Structure 1
Amino acid sequence: MVNRLWTKDYIFVCLTTFFMFLNYYYLLVTLPIYLIQDLQGNSAQAGLLVLVFYMAAIFIRPIAGKWIESIGLKKVFLVSLLAYLAVAFVYFFTSSFESLMILRVIHGIAFGMITTTTGTIVANLIPQHRKGEGMGYYGLMLNMSMALGPFLGLLAINKWGTTTMFAISFASVIIGVLTGLLISIPKEAKKSAAEEVVKKGFNVKELIEVSALRVSLVCFFFAIVYASIVSFVSVYAKELQLTEVASYFFIVYVVALIISRPFTGRWFDQYGANVIMVPSIISFAIGMFLLSQATGAFMFLLSAAFIGLGWGTIFPTIQTIAIAIARPERRGAATATFYSTMDLGIGIGSVIVGILGAKIGYNSLYFYSSIFALAGLIVYYFLHGKISSSLREFSKQQDLELRKVD
């Protein structure tokens, strides 16, 4: 393990993550339009496409985490790259709702594997004393793809047509695969994990990393709120007659992240999780409140900045914690546990938000979501915050003891 953060492998795993998530967000906004316009589907079927994708990803992630332990990170990563590439190519040949549903299930499996493996790789590459900073920049790649993906996707399907849309989707995956193949993943020297699987057999309990579960549940809580942004902010913008402004929502979101990222990652390393999480949760709640009160472009985009600072910092911080508290050989399972709980939160949140939004209106929905997000301070404190303080004090005492010995 080198002490430098910006190594060749770290840069390539960030790029791979960016292009794979770019493809994910790109298809998230374009496939419903493709289904309705080209395949004569309906909005209910479009919702099913999202649901089966998430369910497949959630199902495979714990299993992928176990595969990483048993057969090695490098092999699982290569298989996931090839599977993702194959799926991206098959989209050219979908001609019915049924074929698209089957493909989305397979795509969800490939997505679950690629996110688990890249998350594990980056956790192993970042120096221990720069975990917060390193995972922060890694999280920034995810957030940048979230801004560019929908923007590029809507531009492609509305201006260039379906064939070009799928060609751009396939090209993004090709680039992601090429950068992924340039990552040097050392072969695991120890075979203890594989030997344990042979001795003990396949244990379902080992699919979930218990140490990462508590803090992952914090992410689950906030992901329910975030689902209202990812799924319905464009619908809300249409209600406000801000359709043209909606495409810039995530651009402002990412700009706020880029400005804050150099500070938040370092503060995590220097002062611990609580110093980052508390203001981030408050920022997230403020952003949701401003969104509920928006009547024009300024307030609408200002809310995006606060939400970007909030959720955009909460997400990588919790991921860092989940991986850091797990044993090195369990990082694959910890990554899988984190992503699965987050996806479950977004999936459940999308259903809840869809029902409530139709009944009470989106401005009321976002107002109540701001209160719900603020209540997350209590959830965070009891699930991890008070533990984080104790662990930090213990770590300080250990550092002092080591200095005395030196």
Structure 2
Amino acid sequence: MKEKLWTKEFMIVSTINFIITLIFFLLMVTIASYAKTEYGASTSTAGLVSSIFIIGSLIGRLGAGRIISDVGTKKTLWAGLLFFAVTSILYFFAFNLSLLIVNRLLQGIAVGIASTANGTIIAQILPKTRKGEGIGYYSLSAILATAVGPFIGILLMKFENGFQWIFALNVMFSIVCLIIYVAVKIDVPINKSNITQEEKGSFLSKFIEPKAVPISLIALLIGFSYSGVMSFLSFYAEEINLVSAASYFFLIYAIVIIFSRPFTGKLMDTRGANIVAYPCLVIFAVGMFLFSQATAGWMLLVAAAFIGLGYGNFNSIAQTVAVKVTPPHRFGLATSTYFILYDIGLGVGPFLLGFFVPTTGYRPIFVSMIVIILCCVPLYHWLHGRKDKELLRAS
């Protein structure tokens, strides 16, 4: 008989993840416009207002793993959600551009702490034999939020005092997270006896889980490869005259992930990560090739399907691997390690690739990403794939 997956705790924690991610994307697509409209910020400064949130998130993730090890997952999530609610309210008191930037940084830290603790709780409460499937379902909450958040944000901007409505919704959702979190009853003890002398003596191991680093490095490269699609799609679509088709890109991407995630998660639990990871990397490369060569709307949308199937599922599998290779008492550090490196790939990618756009255009940049993705196949094998059978037997 299968162990139960859809518990009340699982559904509540997944809902919190959905809300946090929704607010993240809702503000990411609107806050730069707010900075320009309200404070007359330059384009570069408005970009800083938007992106400094990610820097804060990295800071929060870096500290969250250590906090979880010291005080436990549930208290850490409480702290993150309270901090998140406070910074949501402070948008109404950001009377100048400097205060807005500081609050964006602080809210990023809050989200980094809350989302890391949230992901760690999921790793702790999922049955050992269904971790791949469970994390696959859990990550779907973020996929849905990436589609819903920007839609709500753009819709509210059309209203009179639209930004005030956005900030009010931010506060309301943050309070909802606190209210529903009261219903979560999990008791994962802090097992400090498992902290070895090596961990006590190593400064780095207090913030980073070494066993999760190999698969997280692959996630960094994969995130870097995808970051150009995420950031440059609208500009690329204008260049190749496929703006109409591009408006459906992320919808197709999300639909493919939603329908494929449950199957890939189950497959990983029963057959190991390799049977999913290798095909996903190849499929992602094929999707990137179609994306780079698109000359018609159908090619762009087929590319969206391939990228969703490949990149979207590899991301979930890699996150599960990061947890599975780690002792339970360091799940928090493993989760934060994975997302720190993954977020670095997503965040640094557009900045670095943007330097080449004026001289090369978009197509050559996306072609070069195919090379990086294909290089990840032997790199994955060397860093994890050759040891995956041992991990499957151990589980």
Structure 1 unaligned regions, length at least 5: 400-406
Distance 1:248 1:151 in 2: 12
Number of the residue aligned with 2:231 = 231
Distance 2:171 2:240 in 1: 34
Are the counterparts in 1 of residues 72 and 190 from structure 2 also a CA contact under 8 Å? Answer: no
Number of the residue aligned with 1:287 = 287
Distance 1:162 1:321, change over 3 A: same
Number of the residue aligned with 2:310 = 310
* Worse-superposed segment, 230-239 or 8-17: 230-239
Are the counterparts in 2 of residues 39 and 95 from structure 1 also a CA contact under 8 Å? Answer: no
Considering only aligned residues, what root-mean-square deviation do their CA atoms show, in Å?
2.4
Distance 1:353 1:377 in 2: 22
Number of the residue aligned with 2:334 = 334
Deviation, structure 1 residue 29: 1.2
Distance 1:387 1:194 in 2: 25
Alignment-mate amino acid for residue 71 of structure 2: I
Are the counterparts in 1 of residues 35 and 49 from structure 2 also a CA contact under 8 Å? Answer: no
Note the 1:116-127 alignment, pairs <5 A.
116-127=116-127
Number of the residue aligned with 1:402 = none
Residue 298 of structure 2 aligns to a residue in which SS?
helix
Note the 1:120-269 alignment, pairs <5 A.
120-159=120-159, 161-186=162-187, 188=189, 190=191, 192=193, 203-269=203-269
Deviation, structure 1 residue 116: 1.0
* Worse-superposed segment, 4-13 or 307-316: 307-316
Residue 29 of structure 2 aligns to a residue in which SS?
helix
Number of the residue aligned with 1:107 = 107
Deviation, structure 1 residue 61: 1.7
Distance 1:167 1:67, change over 3 A: same
Residue 375 of structure 1 aligns to a residue in which SS?
helix
- Give the count of matched residue pairs: 393
Distance 1:241 1:40 in 2: 32
Distance 1:370 1:159, change over 3 A: farther
* Worse-superposed segment, 51-60 or 265-274: 51-60
Note the 1:3-22 alignment, pairs <5 A.
3-22=3-22
Distance 2:120 2:24 in 1: 19
Distance 1:245 1:84 in 2: 36
Are the counterparts in 2 of residues 151 and 247 from structure 1 also a CA contact under 8 Å? Answer: no
Deviation, structure 1 residue 79: 0.7
Are the counterparts in 2 of residues 22 and 172 from structure 1 also a CA contact under 8 Å? Answer: no
Q: Deviations over 1:363-394 (max 9, x none)?
A: 222222223222221221122111224444xx
Distance 1:202 1:370, change over 3 A: closer
* Worse-superposed segment, 204-213 or 168-177: 168-177
* Worse-superposed segment, 4-13 or 144-153: 144-153
* Worse-superposed segment, 3-12 or 204-213: 204-213
Distance 1:305 1:140, change over 3 A: same
Distance 2:190 2:354 in 1: 49
Deviation, structure 1 residue 322: 0.4
Deviation, structure 1 residue 244: 4.5
Number of the residue aligned with 1:403 = none
TM-score calculated relative to the size of structure 2 = 0.92
Distance 1:181 1:231 in 2: 37
Distance 1:91 1:349, change over 3 A: same
Distance 1:236 1:364 in 2: 12
Structure 2 unaligned regions, length at least 5: none
Are the counterparts in 2 of residues 139 and 315 from structure 1 also a CA contact under 8 Å? Answer: no
Distance 1:294 1:174, change over 3 A: farther
Distance 1:195 1:383, change over 3 A: closer
Alignment-mate amino acid for residue 176 of structure 2: I
Number of the residue aligned with 1:324 = 324
Distance 2:89 2:240 in 1: 38
TM-score calculated relative to the size of structure 1 = 0.90
Number of the residue aligned with 1:360 = 360
Deviation, structure 1 residue 14: 0.7
Distance 2:320 2:8 in 1: 21
Alignment-mate amino acid for residue 70 of structure 2: S
Number of the residue aligned with 1:81 = 81
Distance 1:59 1:326 in 2: 22
Deviation, structure 1 residue 190: 4.4
Are the counterparts in 1 of residues 281 and 310 from structure 2 also a CA contact under 8 Å? Answer: yes
Residue 107 of structure 2 aligns to a residue in which SS?
helix
Deviation, structure 1 residue 67: 1.1
Distance 1:26 1:246, change over 3 A: farther
Distance 2:240 2:180 in 1: 41
Residue 148 of structure 1 aligns to a residue in which SS?
helix
Number of the residue aligned with 2:43 = 43
Are the counterparts in 2 of residues 52 and 105 from structure 1 also a CA contact under 8 Å? Answer: yes
Alignment-mate amino acid for residue 119 of structure 1: G
